[in-house]
Amino acid sequence: MMNESQISLFDEIKDITFEQDYEKGVKICSKCKKTLPIKKFATLIRKDLNYRRSACKECVNQSSIVKERLRNVAGEKPSICECCKNKVNEIVYTSNIVLDHCHETGTFRGWICQACNVGIGKFGDKLEGLLNAIIYLAKEKEDLEAIIDYIKLIIKERE
């Protein structure tokens, strides 16, 4: 169960965001947060699993339009993840390189592997979430100092 700080990190409303009421024939869209008739959500059938998408058809269509526009300006898909720097065939989780974009601005960020895309998403697509994870992993002061030095080096290289 998520605690309140985790819920706020992902901007989710506890027990409401993904609430469904099949008896009333409604569901809440995970993107626009509107309560809509169940028929406004596409049915997905995969292997022995049959379920409705979490986002309504309109939000899925809008997302598809944004992704198509970004693909036209993104350039060629590389064989290396721009986040973890692994080659596609060395990635254990999946061999897919996917288009990454900022969900707030709709701008293209780069081409990353599916594992990095899911990981970034789990941290709310926000620097705050990733920084909290880094601080958690860097239990020792020396670890944090090394991370700060590394970030300074990256900034210097980009100048």
Spell out the domain ranges in the chain.
Answer: 13-63
Q: List per-residue pLDDT tens for the chain, 159 residues long.
A: 445 554 454 444 443 334 455 567 888 998 899 999 988 988 888 777 777 888 999 999 988 888 888 988 888 888 899 999 888 765 555 568 999 998 888 889 999 998 899 899 899 888 899 988 888 888 777 888 888 898 899 889 888
The DSSP code sequence of the chain is: ---HHHHHHTTPPTTTTT-EETTTTEEE-TTT--EEEGGGS-EEEETTEEEE-SS-HHHHHHHHHHHHHHHHHH-PPPSB-TTT--BGGG-SS---EEEEE-TTT--EEEEEEHHHHHHHHHTTTSHHHHHHHHHHH--SHHHHHHHHHHHHHHHHHH-
Q: Residue 113's beta-bridge partner residues?
A: 97
Task: Please give the pLDDT value at position 61.
Answer: 92
Phi/psi at 139 (5° precision): -65, -30
Q: The whole model's pTM is what?
A: 0.64
Whether residue 26 contacts residue 35, with contact meaning beta carbons closer than 8 Å, is answered with yes
Phi/psi at 33 (5° precision): 65, 15
Whether residue 91 contacts residue 113, with contact meaning beta carbons closer than 8 Å, is answered with yes
Whether residue 112 contacts residue 106, with contact meaning beta carbons closer than 8 Å, is answered with no
Phi/psi at 120 (5° precision): -60, -40
For domain 13-63, give the CATH number: 3.30.60
